[in-house]
Structure 1
Amino acid sequence: MSNFKRSYKFALKTSLFITIFLTLLVSVFLFFSFEFKLIPVLVFGAACFLFSFFIIQYRVEHFIYKRVKKIYDNVTLLDSSTLQPSQITTDMATLTREVEKFAEDKKLEIETLKVRETYRKEFMGNVSHELKTPLFTVQGYILTLLDGAMKDKAVRKKYLQRAARGVERLIYIVKDLDMITKLEAGDLHLNRENFNIIEVVQNSFDLLEMKAAKKDITLTFDLEYPQPIWVYGDRERIQQVITNLVVNSIKYGKKGGTTEISIENLIKNKVIVRVTDNGEGIEKVNIPRLFERFYRVDKSGSRKEGGSGLGLSIVKHIIEAHSEKIYVESVYGVGSEFSFTLEKSKNTSKPPGKLKTA
């Protein structure tokens, strides 16, 4: 009975009321005008009930179907061509649920579009800021030379060198943008191989030793690793990940601070690489957006620390291209820790290094 059409229930009740009314009316008429007989009255009542039921049921179904189809036609995103009269008339709650779901989906879509629009505006603003600074710098030096400073050899050389640095910065930003685009599109091929992660970290330390020395920051391992630790991935890209993370820790590190890297066992076939510093730290409100392109914790116009603003975004995309995870933990005023997972080498002729357990 629970699956009985609601329109049938309506037709039955309405037909019953009409039949009772007409049958009583006819009975009273026969009682006062003619000889009252029960059988003709019952036959009349039955015929009246059946006739009323079918007429009411047909009209209700036809009326509801037309009204509901009009709703579907007005809301063009709902496909009225798939509707059948029986589907519409059995349960109006189905239409209510579908329209409510449609409204919720549209609301969610609008909210998503608003978020994307905000992100697009921020991204365009950041891109223009990052590009216009070196562009205006280069333009300023060149215009100064053209206005007469070119005649002075010392000034000419100095300004050309500064203009060259501005061009290098532009190239650096464009290359990083190109890499992120390829990573997001899946066009960047990873050359996976077995390599020693200790050697890669040491290469990054050697490369950034002078940069760290300017801020009196010590680059170090958490302990000595006498044996190689073999992992499987794109050596060049992982080198870039570690370099970017160390550069980031130096930028926001405290004078006389430390940047420490550790490699630990995570699970049977994974290691986790941790880059820890005792620098400025990051406020919680900024952590969810750290890996966005051009997003900076430093909102000042001067942006005291250089860089393209793409380093952490590149790190995230490279790690995800390896089907691995990257994590960040930070306490403002205490320091930060960025960590990522890597797959251990499956086959290598050299023994793996001994690792401490995470």
Structure 2
Amino acid sequence: MFTTSRGISLILALAISALVVAFLSLMDGAGLLLLLVAWGVSFSSAYLLISFMLEFLIFKEIGDIYSLLEKIQRKDLSEISEKSRKGSISPLRKINKVINSYAIARQKEIDTLQKNAEFRREFIADISHELKTPIFATQGYIHTLLDGAIDDKQVRMRFLKRAAKSLDSLDILVQDLLTLNQMESGVIKFTFTEFDLKELIEEVMEELEHKAFKRDMNLEFEVDPGKTYLTNGDRQKIYRVCQNLIFNAMKYNHNGGEVKISMTTHKNSIQVDVKDDGQGIPPEDLKRIFERFYRVEKSRNKKDGGTGLGLAIVKHILEGHKSKISVSSTVGKGSIFSFSLPLVKIDTPEDKLKVITH
């Protein structure tokens, strides 16, 4: 009884009313009726006031604190709310708020750790698969040769070429992993220079032209021949961005399809769009295509090459240029990948004449 708000209020109210009556009894002319009325008024007002103070400003806050501590002890932080009673004047509200903030922070840490753990599991499974494929293929070819096939010259050369191709794929995968890790850790530095973006894309198209020819694919470059598309960036890395985007547009397109690259100049930027009329990307995959090893094709068909790291590398390269890669896609109709780079303006003779005139 004496540990509840009502019990404490009763004791304090009795003490206060007794003091009031004792004080009034010392005064001349204080009759019994006056003392009874004073006792009743002082007792009831003291009880109500103290009970309210204890219940709503002390015990309720303490109860909330105990509830929070129990949830933290049980590691059940999912139901903890960030809302706080701003109108409360309790001196314990600040303590309650601090504990609540701590619990919310812990819950966010737990959520982050769970997401990281899930990402690690997926990453280990993905990289195990990617490494297993070329290693097992190489092992198969070499063991076949060791078992006697090495005596057949034609078989020997064919298997050695296949083993070398598998090892090349493994080397590309390792290099891409190292590159991505160095970019994320900030080890790789960007060397910014001015270069013509139109010439760079033309070089990429020339490199991939033979692949397009094999699949009867049309590579089209929409650009204004009278304009200069000068930009500032790391030319080698932007080359890799364009190479990857155009290669992917061809890879996930159908034979006889079309890949269209276009450049649009704005006031201070150049926008590059790589459009294909291939199979498209489902909406549920759009948000994840820039993750490591994520493939829209769940079968993981490796016949067209690729490590599954290309788009992740593209994303980090463009982030290093203060830019972003965006994508829009319609299943069955194709996809458009877009990014922007700064436009370097060249002073024309007319501009120089204006400066001299002014």
Same-fold status (TM-score > 0.5): yes
The one-letter code sitting in structure 2 at the alignment partner of 1:180 is: L
Partner AA of 2:317 in structure 1: I
Task: Give the Å deviation of 1:347.
Answer: 6.0
Alpha-carbon distance in structure 1 between the residues aligned to 2:347 and 2:195: 9
- The match for 1:278 is 277
Measure how far apart 1:148 and its partner are.
1.0
The answer to whether the Cα contact below 8 Å between 2:252 and 2:278 also exists between their aligned partners in 1 is yes
Indicate the residue corresponding to 1:22 in structure 2. Answer: 18
Question: For the structure 1 residues 25 and 165, does the alpha-carbon distance in structure 2 shift closer, same or farther, using more than 3 Å as the test?
Answer: same
Contact 1:241/1:315 (8 A) holds in 2: yes
Change (3 A) 1:304 1:285: farther
Shift of 1:184: 0.5
Per-residue deviation, 1:186: 1.0
How far is 1:19 from its partner?
4.0
Partner of 1:3: none
Structure 1 residue 70, shift from structure 2 partner = 9.9
Q: How does 1:256-335 map to 2 (within 5 A)?
A: 256-266=256-266, 268-335=267-334
Distance change in 2, residues 1:21/1:335 (3 Å) = same
CA contact (8 A) 1:198 1:225 kept: no
Q: Which residue matches 1:80?
A: none
Change (3 A) 1:272 1:14: farther
- Alignment of 1:160 with 2:155, yes or no, is no
Q: Does 1:342 align with 2:341?
A: yes
Label 1:140 to 1:193 Cα distance change in 2 as closer, same or farther (>3 A).
same
Cα distance, 1:217 vs structure 2: 1.4
Counterpart of 2:254? Answer: 254
* Alignment partner, residue 110 of structure 1: 110
How far apart, in 1, do the equivalents of 2:204 and 2:19 lie? 99
Q: Deviations over 1:81-132 (max 9, x none)?
A: xxxxxxxx95222233223222222222222222221111111111111111
Distance in 2 separating the partners of 1:206 and 1:273: 18
- Distance change in 2, residues 1:111/1:68 (3 Å): closer
How many Å separate the matches in 1 of 2:315 and 2:284? 19
- The residue number in structure 1 matching 2:238 is 238
Change in Cα spacing, 1:291 to 1:91, as seen in structure 2 (3 Å) is: same
CA separation in 2, counterparts of 1:240 and 1:19? 85
1:75-90 residue pairs with structure 2 within 5 A? Answer: none
State the AA in 2 paired with 1:232: N
**Residue 277 of structure 2 contacts residue 334 of structure 2 at CA under 8 Å; is this kept in 1?**
yes
Residue of structure 2 in register with 1:151 after alignment: 151
Deviation at residue 169 of structure 1 after TM alignment: 0.4
**Contact residue 26 and residue 41 of structure 1 kept, 8 A:** no
Aligned-partner Cα distance in 1 for 2:349–2:249:
32
Number of the residue aligned with 1:225: 225
Superimposed CA distance per residue, residues 131-165 of structure 1 (whole angstroms, 9 cap, x where no aligned partner): 11001111111111111111112211111111111
2:183 is matched with which residue?
A: 183
Residues 13-38 of structure 1 deviation map (CA, whole Å, 9 limit, x = unaligned)? 767721465369879x99xxxx9699
Worse-matched range after superposition: 202-211 or 150-159: 150-159
Gap regions ≥5 residues in structure 2? 44-54, 74-88, 351-358
The residue type paired with residue 177 of structure 1 is: L
**2:96 counterpart SS class:** helix
- Aligned partners of 1:187 and 1:252: how far apart in 2? 32
User: Mind listing any 5+ residue stretches in structure 1 that lack a counterpart?
Assistant: 1-8, 49-59, 77-88, 352-358
- Partner of 1:289, secondary structure, is coil
Conserved in 1, the CA contact under 8 Å of 2:64 and 2:96? Answer: no
Aligned to 2:287, the other structure's residue is in SS state helix
Q: CA deviation at 1:335?
A: 0.7
Q: What is the CA deviation profile of residues 267-289 of structure 1, one whole-angstrom value per residue up to 9, with x for unaligned ones? A: x2211111111111101100000
TM-score (norm 1): 0.75
C-alpha spacing 1:280/1:116, structure 2 compared with 1 (3 Å): same
Q: Which has the higher contact order (CA 8 A, sep 6+)?
A: 1
The aligned length equals 323
Give the TM-score normalised by the residue count of structure 2.
0.75
**Matching residue's letter, 1:116:** N
The one-letter code of the counterpart of 2:283 is: K
Percent of aligned positions with the same letter in both sequences? 37
Amino acid at match of 2:289: L
Does the aligned pair in 1 maintain the 2:21–2:35 contact within 8 Å?
no
1:159-213: per-residue Cα shift (whole Å, max 9, x none)?
1111111111011001111110111011111111110111110111010011112
Q: SS of the residue aligned with 1:298?
A: coil
Give 1:316's aligned amino acid: K
Tell me, in whole angstroms, the C-alpha distance in 1 between the residues paired with 2:349 and 2:169.
41
For 1:130, what is the secondary structure of its paired residue?
helix
DSSP-derived class of the 1:134 partner: helix
Equivalent residues of 1:282, 1:332 under 8 A apart: yes
- Amino acid across the alignment from 2:305: G
Aligned with 1:345: secondary structure? coil
Q: Distance in 2 between matches of 1:110 and 1:90?
A: 31
Query: Contact conserved, 2:223 with 2:263, CA < 8 A, in 1?
Result: no
Taking a change above 3 Å as real, the CA distance of residues 73 and 189 of structure 1, as seen in their structure-2 partners, is same
| Matched-pair contact (CA < 8 Å) for 1:212–1:218 | yes
